[in-house]
Amino acid sequence: MSDRAEKVCAALIVAASFLLFSLYSILTPLFEASDELWHYPMVQHLATGGGLPVQRAGQTDAEAPWRQEGSQPPLYYWIAAAFSAPFDSSNWREIRRINPHGDMGVPTRDGNANVVLHTPAEAWPWERAVLAVRAARLASILMSTATVFFTYLVARELFQDDARRTTHDAGRRPHDTTFLRLAPPAIVACTPMFAFISGAINNDNAAVLFSTAGVWWALRLMRLGDLSIRSAAIAGAIAGLGALSKSSALGLVGLFGLAGLLTAFDAGRKTQGAFRSFIFHLSSFIFVMFVMLAVALLISGWWFIRNQQLYGDLLGWNAFLDVVGRRDSPASLAQLWSEREGFVWAYWGVFGAMNVIMPPWVYDALNGLAALAVVGLVLRLASAVMGKAPLTQDARRKILLCIFWVALVFIALLRWTSLTPASQGRLMFPCIAVISAGLAYGWWSLHRYVLIGACAALAVLAIVAPFAFIAPAYAQPPDRWTQRLPVAVKAEFGGALRLEEAGFDAPGDLQPGDEATLHLNWALTQPVTRNYSVFVHLIDEHDVIVAQRDMYPGQGSLALSEQPAGRLWSDRYTLRLSPLTPAPKQLRWAVGLYDHATGERLPLANGDDRAIFGALELGSRTDEAPLLRYANGLELLGYALDPSVLAPGETLTITTRWRAVRPLPRDLNVSLQLLDEGANKIAQQDLGQPLTQWPAGETITLTHTLAVSRDATPGVYRLLLVWYAPDDFTRLPAYDAQGQFAGDQITLTRLRVQ
């Protein structure tokens, strides 16, 4: 294929990317993309003449609806504001009705993915605030389309000379490299998560654009050996604009620094007079870096000065973390490793507010494709090591630069996510062009048909995903019951909402850690003026809640105040019993409705505010898998309580069973506490344990006695378990059976004090 034909194909890929990103934007309801709920208020504030906000902890949604995004660098928001400013957005709060029960960041089996209650105003034709939001999304679409274009330029730099030489060595036709150069932009565009974010209001789109442009410019600088003032000024402009888009783009300074250093070193190596040449080119490198930094600071330096003056740190992280929330303590590498699955899934595609997922087999298939690319890269590396197809000096420099960039972004992300929960693979998108080029080269190294097949599979998935996974997650239920249910409840709440029928699915041998699903058929007999929430509880014989689910009707999608009398719908609620739940127990269902704003419950005709029905037998665990695994090698195998209901002044006895899977490094204290929801203690016992003397592999039983305060008021209290160091009170982190971080203060169960 000629160079001209290749560029035409590249242009078609870029144009198709624009259409694909637009498709995602149209099929994703407003504010249902990651953090768009807070990104747009920042855009709207600037579009209507507001200045940059000053962040303070504790601000309400009325005061600072942008939340942590008000601490972000402003360039993206200025650009998006320019797109949306021509449209009247004064009714934006009317379409941004926050769902108080939205499962943000938590994929669930029973829906409730929506973070807002949607209105008919969002439908076509778009008007006022809806049009303003769509216009801001267009800014993102154009930025990501430009990212696809720059990815093609990156591919042309990476696979120019080396790819052609390798093609001849391998006996392939020279035009095979066309697929290799066109594949990376196609892979970027067809990565479902990238396409999803590209159609949303999110400052990642600007950061990824400038990062990708920076990778291209760094590669071009090395290829041309261009240590000119012009080249340095452009690099500085890219770095400065990137820094004004998102802090993650600050790494561009290091990227350009490495590119300049490699260029200077290579130029010095090729010239005569080694020492003089080294000094000359080192001086050129220092001068170029000075120019680059000067331009970058000229563009973005004011932002860092402002942060220092307002918040006491250059990046403004203090203000950001005060709003978004810190981890209780910085996450360890083991804790971050436990979050790896979600991290990888979020690179490929976790939609909505990080709560709409594809079937697990899709992620397995995508990981399999990635593993196939790694195989191709390893084989290519082995071929180079054995001298069959050695890498040129130019190729080695390119590889070093790309590895450095990916490592830099990844290490920075590890640092950030150790401070606040942010284990999202999409935060690696500043280097998505390099990652996609690596995937393309790995598949191509196996065979060009592997590359074509993998790209085709990604394209199909990218086109199908918004129809198959995104749009259905926000569909309202039909005005009918989907099936008749076996249990006649006929409970009417407030004379307006009738729970007609119920049915439930649960394993016959229900155990702690299992799920139980309740199906309900509802009817609205009279119009209501408030948007009531439904609560579903599983309660034990002492009326203690062992599992709970709250949501708006219609799997979270229905605003009852807007529904006509006679409206029917079916709902389902999936409740997961904690693996720590003590058993055996007798469980029942309890269902009711309440106003989330006031807490007021709708009464039944008999004066009660719950419909209680059904019976479930919760049996004891039949497996011996540990309930918790601690970072030092300690495992909780089980525990027992006596009695299961308490009175003030009574003593609670807890028996815990432990195992050390390896010799333990230090002695610790174990604390058991009874606390109310306000963290007020009514009982506590701390025991020092000689863990270094515990034999590995043996079961150790501990007995704890907690004397309940005589002043304890009746109610439900949680039983808290903590392991800590006696010298500095550092708490020991725990992980669940799946290896996910469970915390360092574990609620074992809840108990009633009568």
Considering just the CA atoms, what is the radius of gyration of the chain in Å? 30
List the structure tokens of 662.
């390896």
Neighbour count for residue 48 (Cβ, 10 Å): 15
d(CA 202, CA 478): 32
189: exposed, middle or buried (C-beta count within 10 Å: 0-12, 13-18, 19+)?
buried
Q: Is 607 within the bounds of a domain?
A: yes
Q: 318 vs 638, which has greater pLDDT? A: 638
3-state helix, strand, coil in the chain (%, to 5): 45, 20, 35
Mean pLDDT, residues 571-596 taken together? 96
Element at 414 (helix H, strand E):
helix 393-419
Q: Which residue segment(s) compose the domain that 608 sits in?
A: 487-618
Tell me if 29 is assigned to some domain: yes
pLDDT at 153 over 70: yes
In contact, 114 and 18? CB cutoff 8 Å: no
Q: Which pLDDT does position 281 carry in this prediction?
A: 66
- Span 245-279, pLDDT tens digits: 999 899 999 999 999 999 888 776 666 555 556 66
pLDDT in tens, 87-125: 999 999 999 999 999 998 889 989 999 999 999 999 999
Which residue in 87, 214, 82, 78 sits closest to 146, CA to CA? Answer: 214
Any idea which residue has 């250093």 for tokens?
261
Same domain, 435 and 531: no
At residue 695, the pLDDT reads: 94
Same domain, 174 and 110: yes
Inter-residue long-range contacts of 701-704, CB under 8 Å, 24+ positions, other chains counted: 701/655, 701/656, 701/657, 701/658, 702/655, 702/656, 702/657, 702/658, 702/670, 703/653, 703/654, 703/655, 704/653, 704/654, 704/655, 704/656, 704/670, 704/672
Q: 447: which strand partners?
A: none
Convert the pLDDT of each residue in 22-54 to its tens digit. 999 999 999 999 899 999 999 999 999 999 999
Place of tokens 């067809």: 190
Query: How many whole angstroms from its chain centre is CA 52?
Result: 26
Same domain, residue pair 682 and 534: no
> Are the C-beta atoms of residues 77 and 50 closer than 8 Å to each other?
no
State the pairing for strand pair 585-594/611-618. antiparallel
Instruction: State how far the Cα of 245 lies from the Cα of 76, in Å rounded to an integer.
Output: 6
pLDDT attached to residue 740: 81
* Residue 168 clears pLDDT 60, i.e. is over it: no
Q: What are phi and psi for residue 526, nearest 5 degrees?
A: -140, 145
Summarize pLDDT for 391-445 with one digit per residue, the tens.
888 899 999 999 999 999 999 998 888 877 777 899 999 999 999 999 999 999 9
State the pLDDT at residue 173: 41
Q: Are residues 86 and 68 in the same domain?
A: yes
- 114 and 235 share one domain: yes
Instruction: Write down the pLDDT at residue 397.
Output: 92
Q: Tell me, what DSSP letter sits at residue 467?
A: I
Residue 477 lies in a domain: no
Q: Are residues 635 and 573 part of one domain?
A: no
CATH code: domain of residue 687: 2.70.50.60
Give residue-wise pLDDT tens across range 589-625: 999 999 999 999 999 999 999 999 999 999 998 888 8
Whether residue 694 has pLDDT greater than 60: yes
CB neighbour list of residue 477: distance below 8 Å, 6 or more residues apart: 554, 555, 557, 558, 569, 570, 571
The pLDDT of residue 139: 98
Write down the mean pLDDT value for the chain. 92
pTM for the complete prediction?
0.89
Number of domains composing the chain? 3
- Report the CATH number at residue 546: 2.60.40.2550
Residue 219 shares a structural domain with residue 259: yes
Task: Identify whether residues 15 and 149 lie together within a single domain.
Answer: yes
Q: Could you tell me which residues are beta bridge partners of residue 702?
A: 656
Hey, is 410 helix, strand or coil? helix
| pLDDT reported for residue 624 | 80
Q: Above pLDDT 90, what percent of the chain?
A: 80
> What are the angstrom distances between the C-alpha of 599 and each of 6, 532, 594?
63, 10, 6
Can you read off the two tokens belonging to residue 619?
Answer: 């049996």
Alpha-carbon torsion (599, 600, 602, 605), positive or negative: positive
What is the spatial order of strands in the sheet that 628-630 belongs to? 699-707, 651-660, 634-642, 628-630, 734-735, 741-743
- 637 within some domain: yes
* In a domain? residue 340: no
Enumerate the β-bridge partners of residue 258: none
Residue 322: closest CA among 335, 313, 309: 313
pLDDT at position 273 is: 53
- Distances 477 to 198, 345, 358, 675, 704 between C-alpha atoms, Å: 29, 28, 21, 40, 50
pLDDT attached to residue 166? 43
The amino acid that residue 146 corresponds to is: A
One domain, residues 449 and 557? no
* Each residue's pLDDT tens digit, 718-744: 999 999 999 999 999 999 988 888 889
Task: Encode pLDDT of 51-87 as tens digits.
Answer: 999 998 888 999 999 999 999 999 999 999 999 999 9
CA distances from 548 to 265, 573, 591, 617, 662 (A): 64, 9, 10, 17, 37
174 pLDDT exceeds 50?
Answer: no
Predicted confidence at residue 390, as pLDDT, reads 83
- The per-residue DSSP string of 369-398 comes to HHHHHHHHHHHHHHHHHTTSSPPPHHHHHH
The C-alpha atoms of residue 231 and residue 49 are separated, in whole angstroms, by 36
> Which of 590, 618, 646 finishes a domain?
618
- β-strand 651-660 against 568-576: which pairing, if any? unpaired
Going from the C-alpha of 262 to that of each of 146, 225, 278, the distances in angstroms are: 28, 9, 12
Cα torsion for 177, 183, 185, 191, to the nearest 10°?
-160
pLDDT in tens, 676-689: 988 899 999 999 99
Do 417 and 293 belong to one domain?
yes
Does residue 475 lie within any of the structural domains? Answer: no
- What secondary structure does DSSP assign to 704-733, as a single string? EEEE--TTPPSEEEEEEEEEE-TTT-PBPP
Write the CA distances from 458 to 24, 35, 278, integer angstroms: 15, 25, 47
- Rounded to whole angstroms, how far apart are CA atoms 405 and 214? 10
Dist. CA 412–CA 462, nearest whole Å = 28
Axis crossing angle, helix 448-465 with helix 3-27, rounded to the nearest 10: 30
Residue 661 included in any domain: yes
Per-residue pLDDT band at 335 (split at 50, 70, 90): confident
543/645 same-domain check = no
Domain assignment present for residue 726? The answer is yes
Look at residue 669 in the predicted model and tell me its pLDDT: 96
Q: Of 556, 585, 618, which one is at a domain's C-terminal end?
A: 618
pLDDT at 328: 66
**CA 397 centroid distance within chain:** 33
For the record, the structure tokens of 130 come out as 């809806």
Annotate 195-235 with three-state secondary structure. Answer: HHHHCCCCCHHHHHHHHHHHHHHHHHHHHHCCCCHHHHHHH
DSSP 593-627: EE-TTT-PBPPPTTS-S-EEEEEEEEPPP-S---S
Residues 230 and 370 in one domain: yes
Give the DSSP letter of residue 696.
T
Average pLDDT on 500-519 reads 94
Q: What is the pLDDT of residue 170?
A: 41
Question: Which H/E stretch holds residue 307?
Answer: helix 274-311
Please say which residue of 570, 594, 618 terminates a domain.
618
Core vs surface per residue 459-493: b (16+ CB within 10 A) or e? bebbeebbeebbeebbebbeeebeeebebebebbb
